[in-house]
Amino acid sequence: MSAKVTVACIQNCATPDLEANLAETKAMTREAAAEGARLICLPEYFSCLDVENGRLKIPAFAEDRHPALPAYQALADELGAWILVGSLPIEAQGGSGGGNGGGKAVNRSYLLDDAGRIVARYDKIHLFDVDLAEGESYRESATIAPGGQAVVADTPWGRMGLSICYDLRFPQLYRALAQAGAEILSVPAAFTRTTGAAHWHILNRARAIENGAFVIAPCQNGVHAGGAATYGHSLIIDPWGEVLADGGEDSGVVLAELDMAAVAKARGMIPSLRHDRPFTLDAPGAVKAAE
């Protein structure tokens, strides 16, 4: 495996216009490749984003009919770069959003190799159903069905563990990915401006530090149709928790070089992955008898 790699985060403000979003992000992806990136990562819902009353209004397609997927497969082959297709709304099995999704789609991330082949698929496990201050409310589960399978994939630079956005708040997922050999953790997101300002940097740095892994977290930015606002600040973080790159608030490309030797160094100094131990937890309300 290669010891070093230049990676990039694409940061965009998606609109309901899928074709326009693809044109913009493909141009950014070419820019990243021209600057030497061999692993290029896009945000959650980068190809289309529209929110109404806290619910997503994004057209879902069958995997073999989503226009963004073949476009990026061809681009990965053209550029000779690996691409993380942050996430796309994909019809659940059965077509037309039916089947296992009960009429809903899944929020699916794809990892493509440098020939455009699909190396891994990951369906977002944790869905963003929250009520924030001042009436800001979101119900991702109204249109999206949750996944149930954690995913780790091999790349030329190390194993990558896949996740999406709200997953970031569930450290047990990242621990499982790291224990399965992940040295890079991907977190494509459309993190809200409200929660991002409070928690985005802290949570991403924590996931890197806890697991001695690189974190690549491309995030959308700006105000979207329907008034939802995303935070930006796409991040590339090393295994010691240092922020190598921060995308700020504007659309664009951020790059950093990963030295994969930093993973072994961090895990050697803080070998917590080797110190995990099983434990039990008393049932709530249970009282042990005095001995």
| Catalytic residue, candidates 48, 165, 183, 219 | 165
**pLDDT reported for residue 100:** 42
| Catalytic residue, candidates 24, 48, 104, 124 | 124
Inside any domain, residue 216 = yes
**CA distances to 25, 55, 137, 155, 247 from 69, in Å:** 13, 23, 30, 19, 24
Inside any domain, residue 35 = yes
Separation of alpha carbons 226 and 55, rounded Å: 10
Inside any domain, residue 123 = yes
Active site residue 124: yes
| Catalytic residue, candidates 13, 24, 41, 44 | 44
Inside any domain, residue 47 = yes
pTM over 0.75: yes
Separation of alpha carbons 194 and 176, rounded Å: 28
Inside any domain, residue 218 = yes
How many structural domains comprise the chain? 1
Inside any domain, residue 286 = no
Instruction: Outline where DSSP puts E strands in the chain.
Output: 4-11, 39-41, 51-52, 55-56, 82-91, 105-112, 118-123, 129-131, 137-139, 152-155, 158-162, 182-186, 214-217, 221-223, 229-231, 235-237, 243-246, 252-259
pLDDT digits (tens, 9 = 90+) for 51-70: 888 788 899 999 999 999 99
Inside any domain, residue 291 = no
**Domain encompassing residue 210:** 4-273
Inside any domain, residue 209 = yes
Instruction: Kindly state the DSSP code that residue 208 receives in the 8-state scheme.
Output: H
CATH classification of the domain holding 134: 3.60.110.10
**pLDDT reported for residue 56:** 87
**pLDDT reported for residue 93:** 73
Low-confidence ranges of the chain (pLDDT < 50): 94-101
